[in-house]
Amino acid sequence: MAEMEELDGNQVSGLVEELSGSSRRRRQEVAHQISLTAKAHPEVLTGHVDALVDALYRPEAQTRWEVLDALSELVALDADAVAGAYDGAEASLFDDGSATVRLSAFVFLCRLGASSPERSDEVWPLLDEAIQCYHGDAEYRDMLVALLGLARGSASDATRKALAARVSFDAESGSGYIKSFSEQIVQALS
């Protein structure tokens, strides 16, 4: 496979097309390449958002988390374009079989919510439920990092108030990384 810097539009289009191929293994490999591409050069994927959103419904977890990671990178470029991934991210947020898929969905929704007050209000109920479901799980530290991004973003006053209320107990009475990140979130919201 070509280096990320050398991928041209045709190569990216070819990779994206393979996300709907019949080989599970190849879909996973391609999704990984797309995720790497999004981290290095997200702009080359902006014309492929619909295909990425469609890939959120593949059965294998790796394809979904890699595509969610790519979509997370695209939020900063065009939040409106990736907003269509909301339903797929919601389904992935409560995936019983993969903590990695859940975390990638959570990060995507936090970044989407940080893009505008209206989007923060849309995603907050899902994020709030996920915080309650996964509090203290292995991926919770990374969830707190994503919540800090939401707190520093363009969240609405209502979302900011609800987020502060959700993490205030941990900020005051928690311990370790949970206390530390919760304090940082509360500070970012003040």
Number of domains the chain contains? 2
What is the extent of the structural domain holding 109?
Answer: 103-190
Confirm whether 170 is domain-assigned: yes
DSSP for the chain? ---GGG--HHHHHHHHHHTTSS-HHHHHHHHHHHHHHHHH-GGGGGGGHHHHHHHTT-SSHHHHHHHHHHHHHHHTT-HHHHGGGHHHHHHHHT-TT-HHHHHHHHHHHHHHHHT-HHHHHHHHHHHHHHHHHHTTSTTHHHHHHHHHHHHHTT--HHHHHHHHHHHHHHHHH--HHHHHHHHHHHHHH-
| Residue 10: predicted pLDDT | 82
CA dihedral 43, 45, 50, 54 (to 10 degrees): -140
pLDDT in tens, 38-60: 999 999 999 999 999 999 999 99
- How far is Cα 42 from Cα 185, in angstroms, rounded to an integer? 27
Instruction: State the pTM of this model.
Output: 0.94
Confirm whether 131 is domain-assigned: yes
In a shared domain, residues 69 and 125: no
Task: Identify the residue whose tokens are 């591409």.
Answer: 37
pLDDT in tens, 115-130: 999 999 999 999 999 9
At residue 184 the predicted structure's pLDDT band, cuts being 50, 70 and 90, is very high
In a shared domain, residues 67 and 115: no
In a shared domain, residues 19 and 58: yes
In a shared domain, residues 189 and 108: yes
Confirm whether 188 is domain-assigned: yes
Confirm whether 88 is domain-assigned: no
| Residue 11: predicted pLDDT | 87
How wide is the angle at C-alpha 101 spanned by C-alphas 51 and 22, nearest 5°?
45
Contact 85, 76 (CB under 8 A): no
In a shared domain, residues 129 and 174: yes
Confirm whether 15 is domain-assigned: yes
